[in-house]
């Protein structure tokens, strides 16, 4: 979340991490990571099948 708040502040829209998080949650966004990051790479050559 820090990256979003930092970039908004840099662009002239000062906002704290907590406020950015609260607003996103209120707008219906969830703070979930990528499924592959959460589950791990379960098949070693998974990416090779798309190459």
Delimit the domains of the chain by residue range.
1-30
CB 41 within 8 A of CB 11: no
**Mean of the per-residue pLDDT values of the chain:** 80
3-state secondary structure 1-51: CHHHHHHHHHCCCCCCHHHHHHHHHHCCCCCCCCHHHHHCCCCCCCHHHHC
pLDDT 10s digits, 1-51: 578 999 999 999 999 999 999 999 999 988 776 666 555 555 666 667 676
């Amino acid at each position: 979340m820090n990256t979003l708040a930092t970039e908004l502040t840099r662009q002239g829209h000062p906002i704290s991490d907590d406020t950015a998080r609260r607003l996103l949650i209120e707008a219906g966004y969830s703070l979930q990571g990528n499924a592959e990051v959460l589950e791990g790479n379960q098949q070693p050559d998974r990416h090779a099948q798309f190459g």
